[in-house]
């Protein structure tokens, strides 16, 4: 919390998410709670309610979520984080590059174990870096 406050960030966070998304359910509650406690306004927008917002923040051409849009006090986009922490992205890359040696079931298991142990910590740290 101290590190986040030392950034003296006065802006807001807009989180594009959906309750059915595994990556979102593993990171959004922790991040939202943390940044609200740090004094930042946090709003969650459901991706599927209007695709025009997520279409501005695509990941490799896809509407991947969650996306954390860091906004200045004047509602200008300062930075964007998502859809998963670096470690999760590394696991996904490993799976995509070697699906025969790193099968989908193993990838999903490893990702879920990581999320369960990490409890949103990496996502919060990565977002703080962007403030």
pLDDT score of 123: 98
**Six-digit token pair at 81?**
């984080």
Whether residue 32 is contained in a domain is answered as yes
Whether residue 27 is contained in a domain is answered as yes
Whether residue 92 is contained in a domain is answered as no
Task: Report the CATH number that the domain containing residue 50 is assigned in CATH.
Answer: 3.40.30.10
Whether residue 60 is contained in a domain is answered as yes
Q: Which long-range contacts link 21-25 to residues 24+ away (Cβ below 8 Å)?
A: 21/65, 21/66, 22/111, 22/112, 22/115, 23/64, 23/65, 23/66, 23/83, 23/84, 23/88, 23/115, 24/65, 24/66, 24/83
Instruction: Check: CB of residue 45 under 8 Å from CB of residue 16.
Output: yes
Q: What is the pTM of this model?
A: 0.93
Whether residue 71 is contained in a domain is answered as yes
Whether residue 93 is contained in a domain is answered as no
pLDDT (tens place) for every residue of the chain, 131 residues total: 777 778 889 999 999 999 999 999 999 999 999 999 999 999 999 999 999 999 999 999 999 999 999 999 999 999 999 999 999 999 999 999 999 999 999 999 999 999 999 999 999 999 999 99
Whether residue 96 is contained in a domain is answered as no
Domain that holds residue 72: 2-83+120-130
Whether residue 115 is contained in a domain is answered as no
pLDDT score of 81: 98
Q: Report how many domains make up the chain.
A: 1
Helix (H/G/I), strand (E/B), else coil: 77: strand
């Amino acid at each position: 919390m101290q590190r986040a406050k030392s950034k003296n960030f006065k802006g807001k966070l807009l989180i594009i998410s959906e309750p059915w998304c595994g990556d979102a359910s593993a990171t959004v509650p922790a991040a939202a709670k943390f940044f609200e406690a740090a004094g930042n306004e946090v709003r969650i927008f459901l991706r599927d309610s209007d695709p025009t917002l997520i279409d501005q923040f695509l990941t490799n051409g896809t509407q991947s979520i969650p996306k954390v849009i860091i906004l200045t006090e004047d509602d200008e986009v300062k930075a964007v984080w998502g859809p998963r922490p670096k470690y999760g992205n590394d696991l996904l890359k490993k799976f995509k590059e070697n699906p025969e040696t790193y099968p989908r079931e193993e990838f999903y298991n490893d990702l879920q174990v990581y999320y369960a142990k990490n409890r949103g910590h990496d996502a919060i740290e990565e977002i703080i870096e962007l403030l």
